[in-house]
Amino acid sequence: MIKRISIVGCGWLGLPLAKSLIKDGYSVNGSKRELHELAKLQAQGIKAYQLELNPQVESNDIAGLLNCDLLIINIPPGRKTNTAEFHIAQINALLRAAEQQTVKKILFISSTSVYGSQQGVVDELSERLAETTSGRALKQIEDQISSHSAFQATVLRFSGLVGGQRKPGRFLSGKTVSGPLSPINIIHRSDCIGLITQLIKRDQWGEDFNASASENPSKQAFYQLAAEQLTLPPPHFVEGTSSNKVISNQKIKTTLGYQFNYPDPMQWLQANIQEAE
């Protein structure tokens, strides 16, 4: 039974996830890169540890951080380092440390970018044809974690992330954008947290899941309304190559019995919900 959870990466998703898990009765360890940032975590009831991956592990107490029943790895490829090799080396160093501390279960937060720009309905059986640097790194890490004999690992791939300070009205405001009728694939932070929590409660390991909202409004409809709500200049849409890529969430809904808080991104926008950053 999972009681102690360690979250590597307590930022936009990791911090509210930790707070939610603590409310549910779990003991949570969390990491930040700088020592001076730990007080923010401690104020939320999180056992805070410093961790930097350069790409080797640098920590004030790696054994304490990895004293857990489940390790959640939530650190995307960095923009500054911007090489697949560096991020892969970071995660490999963390995995070696986790193995040394006898961590048994891992949840790796990945992205649907591993599928590249392939078209049509994309599900967990679709070939991963990563095209970007970060997508290629994530694909290789997924394979390494899933095949690692020391761990029971689940890979959770999120589509485009919204909620909190990630306000979609800012993403394309004032820009010239092609493919106005292309469907969007996004997921709200509250559903990210809900799905992770459900995975933990169901003790669902050794799987890979895609996570995206159920509805896929057009790029034009969504981002135009999103900009209007923030009183920002809307994107300028022009005809161009359109995508028909749709990320299926059927497997995760069926497996977990999960009901999305925001299955329709347009309804979320129309509700104009005021959210904490």
Q: Is 90 exceeded by the pLDDT of residue 76?
A: no
Give pLDDT, residue 241: 77
Quote the longest CA-to-CA distance of the chain.
54
More confident: 271 or 64: 64
Give pLDDT, residue 83: 80
**pTM (two decimals):** 0.94
Give pLDDT, residue 43: 96
Give pLDDT, residue 1: 85
Mean pLDDT, range 75-94, rounded to an integer: 84
pLDDT in tens, 39-71: 999 999 999 999 999 999 999 999 999 999 999
Burial class from Cβ neighbours inside 10 Å (0-12, 13-18, 19+) for residue 42 reads exposed
Give pLDDT, residue 275: 63
How far CA 259 is from CA of 76, 190, 195, in Å, comes to: 26, 12, 9
Name which of 125, 142, 183 is nearest 159 in CA terms.
183
Mean pLDDT, range 84-104, rounded to an integer: 94
pLDDT in tens, 161-191: 999 999 999 999 999 999 999 999 999 999 9
SS3 of 197-258: the string is HHHHHHCCCCCEEEECCCCCCEHHHHHHHHHHHCCCCCCEEECCCCCCCEECCHHHHHHHCC
pLDDT in tens, 217-247: 999 999 999 999 999 999 999 987 788 999 9
Q: Is 80 exceeded by the pLDDT of residue 276?
A: no
pLDDT in tens, 197-207: 999 999 999 99
Give pLDDT, residue 239: 87
Mean pLDDT, range 141-165, rounded to an integer: 95
pLDDT band at 80 (very low <50, low <70, confident <90, very high): low
Mean pLDDT, range 142-157, rounded to an integer: 94
What mean pLDDT value characterizes the chain?
Answer: 94
Q: How crowded is residue 113: how many other Cβ atoms within 10 Å of its Cβ?
A: 23
Give pLDDT, residue 271: 85
**Cβ-defined contacts of 198-205 (< 8 Å, 24+):** 198/256, 198/257, 198/258, 199/107, 199/154, 199/156, 199/256, 200/2, 200/5, 200/21, 200/26, 200/70, 200/107, 202/255, 202/256, 203/1, 203/2, 204/154, 204/255, 204/256, 205/105, 205/152, 205/153, 205/154
Give pLDDT, residue 77: 84
Give pLDDT, residue 273: 61
